[in-house]
Amino acid sequence: MPRNQQILLDNRPEGEAQASNFKLVETDTPALADGQVLVRHHFMSLDPYMRGRMNESKSYAQPQPLGQVMQGGTVGEIVESRNPRFAVGEKVVGFGGWQQYSVVDANLPGVLRKVDTSQVPLSHYLGAVGMPGVTAWYGLVKLIAPKAGETLVVSAASGAVGSAFGALGKARGCRVVGIAGGPDKCAYVRDELGFDDCIDYKVHSDVKSLSAALKTACPQGIDGYFENVGGMVLDAVLLRTNAFARIALCGMIAGYDGAPLPLANPSLLLINRIRLEGFIVSEHMEVWPEALAELGGLVASGKLRPRESIAQGLAAAPEAFLGLLKGRNFGKQLVQLA
Amino acid sequence: MPRNQQILLDNRPEGEAQASNFKLVETDTPALADGQVLVRHHFMSLDPYMRGRMNESKSYAQPQPLGQVMQGGTVGEIVESRNPRFAVGEKVVGFGGWQQYSVVDANLPGVLRKVDTSQVPLSHYLGAVGMPGVTAWYGLVKLIAPKAGETLVVSAASGAVGSAFGALGKARGCRVVGIAGGPDKCAYVRDELGFDDCIDYKVHSDVKSLSAALKTACPQGIDGYFENVGGMVLDAVLLRTNAFARIALCGMIAGYDGAPLPLANPSLLLINRIRLEGFIVSEHMEVWPEALAELGGLVASGKLRPRESIAQGLAAAPEAFLGLLKGRNFGKQLVQLA
């Protein structure tokens, strides 16, 4: 059996996450039992939600256990199989964690899904045609439920979720405005992703300034907002919401390190009769087939051109993850393992 | 025609509302045109929403115009009629404002509604069997949509909305916990309104202490919350919400004077996948018949025993209103005019 490099959560962050919270170890992969397969990971996914699980306190998921392999999504290929449903060489998406190989009891429903790489590159099954894409789909279709002509805004617009949200919103005839950090990301959001406009939050130092920029970019006000970051961005968006706006609350990365960030003026939720809903896409598995079908079509047709930041080798994962939390990635953050 | 005392909004508050914002004047009631009726008001309603309309800024409603009669709900009787659908002596509920009489074009749909006072006292049509009652009904039935056995919490529990919410929640087999100010109100909420428990927020000086009291009163956590006040109470409730809790956002009276009160930890909305919705009951007229039928039945059967604070005479209205904003009323605040 091959040797397997793994990254464990060694200790929990106090305040900002650090590379020293992680530990790289090497073990033997165990021999397969009946029904199991060995997956060699080609790519692993780095996602903001992982930061929340590094804390001790229970969030919506159990905390990531100390001393165990960091959990996360992976794509790879079957390199050994004792399960008749999976053949060596088949490509699969799963939840293999921060390691080069995983042993999977492939009879458990949903743990491995075979994917077709003829039209969609393997790595995109961790992004636009995977969990982040379905996250955008659920928030847009099930919570915001826009009408054609409405104005939608998404924060972290150049990321895996934001870029999918933009393509899905444009497909429904909406005006879609992104918020992203820096001129390069904003140019990509406008020019390659086809958003109607993109605001660089880094040139706005306060809520008033950002809110004025939103007013210019959204002359008809904001009907739907997909929230990935929280903090000042949410405060500014709320000031521009129309009556009966809908907010899909997916992430609040701005508050993941340290003290919670307050919401400055919650009475706007009442004044504008807003419906806001927090969600986790893994609790809505019933939408995945429909969502993945639409997302795969958008990628295959070139209407959604997801960008990826790819770190090389497992040892690069902690720094890439910390960079993601600071917005240093550009598009979906992956680590290539094979 | 009789002389008519009226209270106008004379100037807008800066910070706290003051008695000097209002002005009492006396005029003649005009002669009736065809289709009009003259209503003599027996009671007028004082409600927290009026404070929001005193500000210049547009809220969900247009601001109360300066120099005009303060708007508000009234019940009274027809004392003169040039409309064949309304006879002298009939009791009606309407939106006559802070004055002794109103001239109403009774052909406009919905401006006057005849009420039956054989089982429900006239004044209750401004409270439990009126706008406040329907407000509680809409938030409970349409937004919180509780299952039997769930735990519901309402702030300002001894008030017109809170007391109706309690009776409606108990009728659906829920555990209902109130939050109110002072031992007398809490005793009323528990003993006369039949809530399962009531917390006196005045004995809790911070979020942690109030949240601990909520934990004791809601051992199974909070599934539905009806928000009338905002501020620290909302922060404390959020800490005790269960996954998939629903919050009906009806009022944030704590922030009506002066600067907006922040929400300390909005990420709890995500962590607990909460659905929160702001609403105004006047935008949901379709539910009024069903809601009023249930509320009238609860009052007639004695299951909802609304309490009223009744100020005497129009001149007493401003002080009674300011007292309402400070929680000095006990139950529905009315002014008796005849």
Domains delineated in chain A = 3-127+306-336 (3.90.180.10), 131-282 (3.40.50.720)
Contact at CB, B60 and A250, closer than 8 angstroms? no
Q: How confident is the model at residue B57 (pLDDT cuts 50, 70, 90)?
A: confident
Show which residues on chain A lie within 8 Å of chain B, measured between beta carbons: 59-60, 230, 234, 243, 249-252, 255, 260-267, 269-280, 283
Token readout for B82 is 């040039």
Residue A137, classed as helix, strand or coil, is helix
CA distance B282 to B63: 16
Q: What is the pLDDT of residue B255?
A: 65
Per-residue pLDDT of B99-114, as tens digits, reads 999 999 999 988 999 9
Q: Would the pLDDT of B117 be above 80?
A: yes
Q: How confident is the model at residue B259 (pLDDT cuts 50, 70, 90)?
A: confident
- Count CB neighbours of A287 within 10 A: 14
Per-residue pLDDT of A228-237, as tens digits, reads 988 999 999 9
Mean pLDDT of chain B: 94
Q: What is the pLDDT of residue A193?
A: 94
Contacts of A137 (CB under 8 A, 6+ apart): A164, A168, A287, A291, A294, A295
Q: Would the pLDDT of B49 be above 90?
A: no
Q: What is the pLDDT of residue B15?
A: 87
C-beta separation of B61 from B90 below 8 A: no
Torsion angle of the four alpha carbons B212, B213, B216, B221, in this order, in degrees rounded to the nearest 10: -70
Residue with tokens 């031992």: B183
Q: What is the pLDDT of residue A21?
A: 98
Buried b (16+ CB within 10 A) or exposed e, B126-143: bbbbbbbbbbbbbbbbeb
Q: Would the pLDDT of A299 be above 90?
A: yes
Mean pLDDT over residues A223-246, rounded?
96
CA B210 from centre of chain: 24
Per-residue pLDDT of B286-333, as tens digits, reads 999 999 999 999 999 999 999 999 999 999 999 999 999 988 889 899
- Count CB neighbours of B226 within 10 A: 31
Q: How confident is the model at residue B167 (pLDDT cuts 50, 70, 90)?
A: very high
C-beta separation of B107 from B83 below 8 A: yes
Mean pLDDT over residues A190-211, rounded?
96
Which residues on A lie below 8 Å from B277 (Cβ)? 273-276
Q: Would the pLDDT of B174 be above 90?
A: yes
Per-residue pLDDT of A3-54, as tens digits, reads 999 999 999 999 899 999 999 999 999 999 999 999 999 999 999 889 989 9
Q: Would the pLDDT of B183 be above 90?
A: yes
Residue of B nearest to A279 (CA): B273
Q: What is the pLDDT of residue B256?
A: 64
What count of CB pairs under 8 Å joins A to B? 93
CA distances from A296 to A40, A155, A176, A283, A293 (A): 24, 23, 20, 21, 5
Contacts of B98 (CB under 8 A, 6+ apart): B6, B7, B44, B69, B70, B71, B72, B314, B317, B335
Q: What is the pLDDT of residue B260?
A: 80
Which residues on B lie below 8 Å from A274 (Cβ)? 277-278
Contacts of B30 (CB under 8 A, 6+ apart): B1, B103
Residue of B nearest to A60 (CA): B271
Per-residue pLDDT of A163-184, as tens digits, reads 999 999 999 999 999 999 999 9
CA distances from B336 to A315, B98, B320 (A): 77, 11, 11
Residue B318, classed as helix, strand or coil, is helix
C-beta separation of A221 from A242 below 8 A: yes
Residue of B nearest to A243 (CA): B60
Which residues on B lie below 8 Å from A271 (Cβ)? 59-60, 278
Q: Would the pLDDT of B60 be above 80?
A: no
Q: What is the pLDDT of residue A48?
A: 87
Q: Would the pLDDT of B245 be above 90?
A: yes
The interface predicted TM-score of the complex, written ipTM, equals: 0.89
CA A83 from centre of chain: 31
Q: What is the pLDDT of residue B300?
A: 93
C-beta separation of A39 from A102 below 8 A: yes
CA distance A128 to A124: 6
Q: How confident is the model at residue B58 (pLDDT cuts 50, 70, 90)?
A: low
Beta bridge partners of A6: A25, A99
Show which residues on chain B lie within 8 Å of chain A, measured between beta carbons: 59-60, 230, 234, 243, 249-252, 255, 260-267, 269-280, 283
Measured between CA atoms, how close is B79 to chain A, in angstroms? 38
More confident residue, B204 or A327: B204
Q: Would the pLDDT of A210 be above 80?
A: yes
CA A25 from centre of chain: 26
CA distance B164 to B157: 9
**Residue among A314, A309, A278 at smallest CA distance from A101:** A314
CA distance A232 to A239: 11
CA distance A60 to A42: 28
C-beta separation of A34 from A106 below 8 A: no
Q: What is the pLDDT of residue A318?
A: 98
Residue with tokens 């590094």: A54
> Beta strand A308-312 with A3-9: parallel, antiparallel or unpaired?
unpaired
Most confident range, picked from A250-264, B82-96, B321-335: B82-96
- Count CB neighbours of A27 within 10 A: 12
Q: Would the pLDDT of B233 be above 90?
A: yes
> Beta strand A275-278 with B275-278: parallel, antiparallel or unpaired?
antiparallel
Mean pLDDT over residues A283-291, rounded?
95
C-beta separation of A293 from A85 below 8 A: no
Mean pLDDT of chain A: 94
* Residue A194, Cβ density class (10 Å: 0-12 exposed, 13-18 middle, ≥19 buried): middle
Contacts of B149 (CB under 8 A, 6+ apart): B173, B174, B175
Mean pLDDT over residues A85-100, rounded?
97
Q: How confident is the model at residue B258 (pLDDT cuts 50, 70, 90)?
A: low
Contacts of B155 (CB under 8 A, 6+ apart): B162, B178, B179, B201, B226, B227, B228, B229, B233, B234, B237
CA distance A226 to A145: 11
CA distance A253 to A47: 10
